[in-house]
């Protein structure tokens, strides 16, 4: 643990961290933020904050191995590729471990997911590209040739039941592996049609879908050898015609690429260019989708892409990586699909299952800052990967214990409404402020204030009383988080605990180092929020 982080821990042990007018040193005289006059800058989808459930979670299979001595030892060994291992093409199967299907009927998991609703539940991922749906009560033990996994009718019904129970809408993608193709190698809609028909027969509905998961890494996702942009363009046109005929209510998302403008520019992993994919496919998506990871985890360090460490978790350079990726894909959207809404359909701290500290309070700074940044820039949906799998899950998949990012997500959901406001203060190093209308309070305003400075108390002058929710931790690299000084815990029975604010008088409000605060100002009387 660094000296800076240790200092944070000592500071947060004191009650002064949560006193409205703490007498600590401050960066400068407190600037004034008046919620009454914040201007409207846009609006996001009602399901803006969403999440992923990986298809391999639903079917069971080999997913990212948990951190621990066994993985550490494996990472020291030379990589080995094993065909048919259940790992994505070209990936070292030692990085993965067998997992049983997730229990989406678990009452505890449903309670936690429902607290994030309404949301889009995206069931996709690399494994979805080669998964076959068996519309039968007696599915085969092995998939047909050209597929790698079997999704049973019962499992898919479980997904649809879960989506309904948690106030979700389903987002997915379709199989594109060899089993979906004719003798010439072209994609055929037979498996996709069965997927749509089965979903409908079970009372479900696909709200939106990408053709395939991450087509710029098509080879890793199970596409035929030599698959290129021209082949994608041919296949996407076939898919678009199928979708318009078979599921006209379904939004077509695309391309759903990953890494350009960031990871792929610095590593050894070479993919297809999204510009070429989009040019070959022609216009035709209802919303432009992309994926973003600011780094790769320790599991994939051999790919040579930009990693990160806990020491960098609060750094401006790290927090701003989401802007670089968004800027890249926004420019493609503007050029090739102008005017289409932008969705970020998969994101987390690091690809390949997340870094160990992705499960800690440190990552809550990235999580919430990313939501604030992207909402302000017009992104309509942000789907975190995942709800409950691996180290980037909002929920620990082994214990179903809520992680710090889960509590951060609940607070965002309860307080930040669709209308995005200009907080009137440009974000600066160490202090980021975002504003939305306050959910359920006409005229009210919600402020998100992130003090990412490890040693400096920041202050703002707010001429209105507010209700304050401050998140902190005495061990930022751990899984424990405090709300207004009290540790957040849930025994898993009944409803989630109430998240109680503290009252804050108008005037100067102080924000302790390395804390995240929401301020609810129900009496703001903001005209944009009525």
pLDDT band at 527 (very low <50, low <70, confident <90, very high): very high
Question: What's the pLDDT score for residue 307?
Answer: 67
Question: What's the pLDDT score for residue 464?
Answer: 96
Would you call 246 exposed, middle or buried from its count of C-beta atoms within 10 A (0-12, 13-18, 19+)? middle
**3-44+420-529: CATH homologous superfamily?**
Golgi alpha-mannosidase II (2.60.40.1180)
Question: What's the pLDDT score for residue 21?
Answer: 38
- How does pLDDT run across 247-286, given as a tens digit for each residue? 999 999 999 999 898 766 655 566 899 999 999 999 999 9
Question: What's the pLDDT score for residue 78?
Answer: 65
Alpha carbon separation from 363 to 208, 210, 312 (Å, rounded): 28, 28, 11
Question: What's the pLDDT score for residue 69?
Answer: 86
> Are the C-beta atoms of residues 162 and 170 closer than 8 Å to each other?
no
> Are the C-beta atoms of residues 57 and 51 closer than 8 Å to each other?
no
Question: What's the pLDDT score for residue 10?
Answer: 33
Question: What's the pLDDT score for residue 506?
Answer: 95
Omega cis (within 30) before 255: yes
d(CA 416, CA 136): 43
- How does pLDDT run across 399-438, given as a tens digit for each residue? 999 999 999 999 999 999 999 999 988 877 799 999 999 9
The pTM for the full model equals 0.92
442: nearest Cα among 525, 331, 340: 525
Question: Would strands 206-210 and 251-258 be described as parallel, antiparallel, or unpaired?
Answer: parallel
- What ranges do the domains of the chain cover? 3-44+420-529
- Say yes or no to pLDDT of 28 above 80: no
Query: pLDDT averaged over the chain?
Result: 90
Q: What is the mean pLDDT of the segment spanning 35-48?
A: 98
Run of H or E including 407: helix 404-415
pLDDT band at 23 (very low <50, low <70, confident <90, very high): very low
Question: What's the pLDDT score for residue 262?
Answer: 73
- How does pLDDT run across 151-201, given as a tens digit for each residue? 999 999 999 999 999 999 999 999 999 999 999 999 999 999 999 999 999
């Amino acid at each position: 643990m660094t000296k800076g982080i240790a200092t944070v821990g000592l500071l947060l042990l004191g009650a002064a961290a949560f006193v409205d007018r703490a007498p600590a040193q401050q960066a400068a005289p407190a600037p004034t933020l008046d919620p009454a006059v914040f201007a409207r800058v846009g609006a996001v989808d009602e399901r803006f904050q969403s999440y992923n459930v990986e298809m391999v979670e639903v079917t069971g299979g080999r997913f990212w191995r948990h951190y621990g001595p066994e993985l550490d030892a494996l990472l020291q060994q030379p990589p080995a590729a094993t065909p048919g291992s259940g790992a994505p093409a070209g990936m070292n199967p030692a990085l993965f471990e067998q997992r049983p299907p997730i229990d989406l009927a678990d009452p505890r998991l449903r309670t936690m997911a429902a607290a994030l609703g309404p949301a889009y539940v995206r069931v996709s991922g690399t494994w979805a590209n080669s998964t076959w749906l068996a519309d039968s009560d007696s599915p085969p033990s092995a998939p047909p040739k050209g597929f790698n996994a079997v999704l049973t009718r019962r499992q898919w019904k479980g997904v649809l039941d879960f989506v309904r129970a948690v106030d979700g809408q389903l987002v997915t993608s379709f199989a594109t592996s060899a089993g979906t193709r004719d003798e010439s190698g072209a994609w055929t809609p037979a498996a996709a049609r069965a997927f749509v028909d089965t979903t409908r027969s079970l009372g479900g509905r696909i709200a939106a879908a990408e053709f395939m998961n991450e087509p710029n890494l098509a080879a890793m996702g199970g596409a035929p050898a030599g698959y290129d942009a021209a082949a994608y363009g041919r296949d996407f046109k076939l898919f678009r015609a199928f979708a318009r005929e078979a599921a006209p209510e379904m939004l077509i998302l695309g391309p759903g690429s990953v890494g350009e403008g960031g990871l792929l520019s610095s590593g050894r992993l070479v993919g297809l260019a999204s510009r070429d994919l989009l040019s070959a496919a022609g216009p035709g998506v209802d919303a432009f989708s992309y994926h973003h990871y600011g780094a790769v985890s320790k599991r994939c360090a051999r790919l040579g892409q930009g990693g990160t460490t806990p020491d960098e978790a609060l750094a401006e350079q790290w927090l701003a990586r989401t802007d670089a990726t968004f800027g890249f894909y926004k420019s493609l959207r503007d050029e090739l699909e102008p005017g289409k809404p932008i969705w970020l359909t998969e994101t987390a701290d690091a690809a390949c299952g997340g870094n160990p500290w992705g499960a800690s309070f440190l990552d809550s700074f990235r999580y919430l800052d990313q939501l604030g940044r992207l909402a302000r820039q017009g992104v309509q949906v942000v789907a975190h990967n995942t709800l409950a799998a691996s180290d980037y899950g909002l929920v620990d998949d082994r214990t179903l214990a809520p992680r710090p990012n889960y509590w951060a997500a609940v607070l965002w959901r309860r307080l930040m409404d669709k209308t995005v406001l200009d907080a009137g203060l440009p974000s600066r190093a160490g202090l980021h402020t975002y504003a939305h209308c306050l959910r359920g309070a006409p005229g009210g305003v919600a402020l998100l204030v992130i003090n990412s400075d490890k040693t400096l108390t920041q202050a703002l002058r707010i001429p209105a009383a507010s209700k304050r929710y401050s998140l902190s931790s005495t061990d930022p690299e751990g899984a424990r988080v405090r709300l207004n000084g009290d540790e957040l815990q849930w025994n898993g029975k009944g409803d989630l605990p109430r998240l109680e604010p503290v009252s804050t008088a108008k005037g100067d409000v102080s924000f302790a180092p390395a804390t995240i605060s929401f301020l609810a100002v129900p009496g703001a009387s903001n005209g944009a929020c009525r």
